[in-house]
A and B are shown apart, each in its own frame.
Chain A
Amino acid sequence: MSTAVAPSQVRLISPLGLLQKLSGLKVLLPFAVLVAIWWAIKVGAGITDEVLVSPATAFAAFVRLVTTGVLSEYASTSLRMIGACAMFSLAVGVPIGFAVGVNRYAARSCEGFLRFLQGVSGIAWLPLVIIWLGLSYKTTLAVVIYTLIVPIVFNTMIGVRTIPENYVLALRSLGAGRLRLATDVYLPGALPSIVVGLRLGMGYGWRALIAAEMLVHSGGLGDLIFSARTFNQIDRIIVGMIVIGCLYIIVDRLIVQPIENLTIARWGVLRK
């Protein structure tokens, strides 16, 4: 290990450290301990199945949900929804962010508005959207897109704003046209910020998705765990929760974060 790196900076809770530990399977130990404690509490305190099921019961429920295709169906619904919303939000949000960010006055006027929209989270608009679009996937789609697009627009705007004007002027003075400027200065310069916005948006969006699914009740993991409450199916709730967690970790750490890291590695310093 190079002595140039300050030792205190090494032991961060970082994905790299996690990956290294994975090769040693050390990462499973804490979970094993957790499951053991869970089992101990369940048996020791004599808790009924209506309050908390044992790890064995939960695992059996997991197997059942997989073999009956329920889990993959509901998980697929959620994944497809978040994927579609992410694509749409990027396709629409980045251009808007560019358009707003390029002009100083536009940026200034939109900043407060975007913060406000962020404050009124997509979930708060759910009852209104339900009135407009009914209890269907369209409502979930609308709410999640709203939740995703605001951070993306905001961060794109910031990304464009922080590009030093010298770069733009330099290329301009060399005769670059609008398109050239966009692809060679604006896009690469704003890209790290855009990806940060994507990451933030996915965090907000996934939570909004689960909440929306709970209320709209037409498929998805949120629907799965919330409906299970009606019948006190604690095993299903727990399986659902674990799957939600695992899927988010996969999407965030194995898809979005690598995109972020690769973008920074390729295109420069993240102003963090």
Chain B
Amino acid sequence: MSAVAPAASPARLRLDRVAWMLLPAAPFVAVLAAWAAYWQIVRPPAATLPSILAVVQVVGDIAGDGRLGANVLASLWRLLLGASLGILTGVVAGFATGLYRGISEFLSPLVIFFNAISGIVWLPLMIGWLGIGTALAVFVIWNTVFFIVFQNTVLGVQLVPEVLEQGVRALGAGRLETLRSVTLPGALPYILSGIRSGLGFGWRALIAAELVGAPSGLGQMIFAAGDYHRSDIIIAGCLIIGVIAIAMDRWILYPIEQRTVQRWGLITDAEKEGV
């Protein structure tokens, strides 16, 4: 910010504000413009690159005949199942591990290893055990979310300053009371950060899993469209995937983090750096 700025008129300031609001749209507009220009000049076959209009039309089509809704719901349902399981098990296991040094030391190498293969690496093995379907996708998501939430929970629990716990204990609080009033709020920023991260990873893992083997869902829709060279459906699907990813992060997770963490005045060390 410049130290000395000439006094600007109110109209000018409003214009600046509007421009500031609209700036994020600029790259999207640029891409759309380039797409339209390329399409006009080169006229590629529809299978290679459809026109913008074609993509818009196809979105209308699949939304209209319910296919879009069904696939989106299928994917979101799997995400919900897998993520809830992952969060639940992750937090519980995280607390158990974070509180007891012995467990933490023992599990640490295992966690590092299984985190390295979390997600779709389990796919070939699990296809044999769970078949192709919702169970497989839910497993992949659970796997992805669990490790992220688990590690963040352990970190959060361990980072709660012991002084606070000891203080509450000195005042006569029992084990459970300490957990509830000190450890849980203290670890909460990390847990929430882990949940937010885990959901992002989980959504990506879900799409990958559906691409490879699922009877329904957004990933499957894209994959099947590839077989028929329906680029319009693929592009439409990809855009919708991106929109859902952003919407999930912006409108569900960020507000939750705001209401709990920031309202209770907890400071997050793990400030989000990067995507």
Residues of A within 8 A of B (CB): 6-9, 11-13, 17-18, 21, 26-31, 34, 50-51, 105, 108-121, 123-128, 130-132, 150-151, 154-155, 158, 165, 193, 196-197, 200, 204, 207-208, 210-211, 214-215, 225-226, 228-229, 232, 234, 237-238, 240-242, 244-246, 248-249, 252-253, 271-272
- Asked whether any CB of chain A lies closer than 8 Å to the CB of B48, the reply is yes
Chain B contacts of A242 at CB under 8 A? 117
Interface residues on B, range: 35 or more
Smallest CB separation, B271 vs chain A (Å): 7
- Asked whether any CB of chain A lies closer than 8 Å to the CB of B158, the reply is yes
Identify A31's interface contact among B113, B120, B245, B246, CB under 8 A.
B113
Given contacts A119-B241, A196-B274, contact A241 B117 (CB under 8 A): yes
Chain A contacts of B128 at CB under 8 A? 50-51, 229, 232, 234
**B242-A51 in contact (CB<8A):** no
**A108-B20 in contact (CB<8A):** yes
Smallest CB separation, B111 vs chain A (Å): 7
**B109-A30 in contact (CB<8A):** yes
| A-B contacts, 11 listed (Cβ < 8 Å) | A11-B158, A31-B110, A31-B113, A111-B24, A119-B244, A124-B222, A128-B231, A131-B231, A155-B273, A200-B274, A238-B125
Residues of B within 8 A of A (CB): 1, 20, 23-28, 47-48, 101, 104-114, 116-117, 119-125, 127-129, 151, 154-155, 158-162, 200, 203-205, 207-208, 211-212, 219, 222-223, 225-226, 229, 231, 234-235, 237-239, 241-246, 249, 269-271, 273-275
Chain B contacts of A117 at CB under 8 A? 242
Smallest CB separation, B202 vs chain A (Å): 11
Q: Is the interface of A mostly helix, strand, loop or mixed?
A: helix
| Pairs of residues from A and B, 4 with the lowest C-beta to C-beta distance, nearest first | A119-B245, A127-B226, A120-B242, A112-B24
**B27-A8 in contact (CB<8A):** no
Smallest CB separation, A28 vs chain B (Å): 8
Identify A229's interface contact among B124, B238, B275, CB under 8 A.
B124
Chain A contacts of B229 at CB under 8 A? 131
